[in-house]
Amino acid sequence: MCLLAGLVGAFAFLDRKIFFAESVTHGTFPGGILGVVIAATLGASHEQMSLALFVGAFLFCLPLGGLMRFIGGIPGISSQASAGIVLTFGFAMGYFLYRWFSPLPIQIQSFLTGSILTVNSWDVASAGAGLVVVLIIVAVWGKELVFKSYDPIDSLTRGMNTRLLESLSIAMVIGAIVLLIPAVGTVLSIALFAAPAAGLAPLVKSWPHFMVAAPLAGLGIGVVGFACGVVFNLSVGGMIAIFAGIFFATTRLIVWARCAQG
């Protein structure tokens, strides 16, 4: 999961989609609630409702991604502004649905914060499959995705399928965020998603090295956060988020020290 977050986060950082990823974390909230409500209406078991929660979260994010693209295409509205609109809409709808359908048949708190200690084999297998899919996308379209991130206009003039590349970028972000929910939930996932790439960007000059370093940094943050959470009997997701912040702050100090020396 940490490797997946670091790798997709690296592409999201280059493509200026970190704020979009934040909006996706809020968009999963109403989707998860709708999934649980529909499953409960159909008489699903507790395990089936848990699965429906994640399926609903993923499916609801797809139209949100399309909505963000549509709003971002309106003259005068930037991609960051469109992501902010989607974020606000997603959170507001999630809170409305949560109050409307309360009490829910399952505890929604685990969906918001996650619990890596209760991650099961299905969650790990899903994250592994997601990582394999992302690696295939990187192997086939990696250079094009990076090129579009740096110069979207020139990539269009060179005949690249920018619509496909944009769709792949959005799909990777949505898929990674949803697969991170069992471990760190929707609230804390953005820390593990953004910190490795944002911290390493000023220090790594080659994009292939950047794509390798970011997942490894994410793995290191996850391992250290997990260990500290278990040893000190603290929230593992919270500790991962804290060490993500420490990692980012440390890399910034290194950059400032280099600038002061040079």
Q: How confident is the model at residue 109 (pLDDT cuts 50, 70, 90)?
A: low
Strands (E), the chain: none
Degrees (nearest 5) of the Cα angle 121, 113, 51? 45
Distance between CA atoms of 222 and 228, rounded to whole angstroms? Answer: 10
Residue 185: left if φ>0, alpha if ψ -120 to 50, beta else—which one? left
Q: In the predicted model, is pLDDT for residue 98 greater than 90?
A: no
For residue 137, give the CATH number of its domain.
1.10.3470.10
Average pLDDT rounded to a whole number, residues 220-232: 93
The predicted model scores a pTM of 0.87
Residue with tokens 């370093």: 213
238, pLDDT greater than 70? yes
Q: How far apart (Å, rounded) are the C-alpha atoms in residues 193 and 109? A: 20
Q: What is the pLDDT of residues 61-87, one digit of tens each?
A: 888 878 887 887 788 888 778 888 888
Task: Decide if 114 contacts 184 (C-beta within 8 A).
Answer: yes
Distance CA 170, CA 172 (A): 5
DSSP conformation class of 113 = H
Q: Give the domain extent around 25.
A: 1-261
Tokens of 67: 């909505």
- Alpha-carbon distance of 171 to 165, in angstroms, equals 10
Number of domains in the chain: 1
Mean per-residue pLDDT, 125-133: 91
Residue 207 three-state SS: helix
Tens of pLDDT, residue by residue over 183-213, are 777 777 888 899 999 999 999 989 899 999 9
Strands (E), 3-115: none
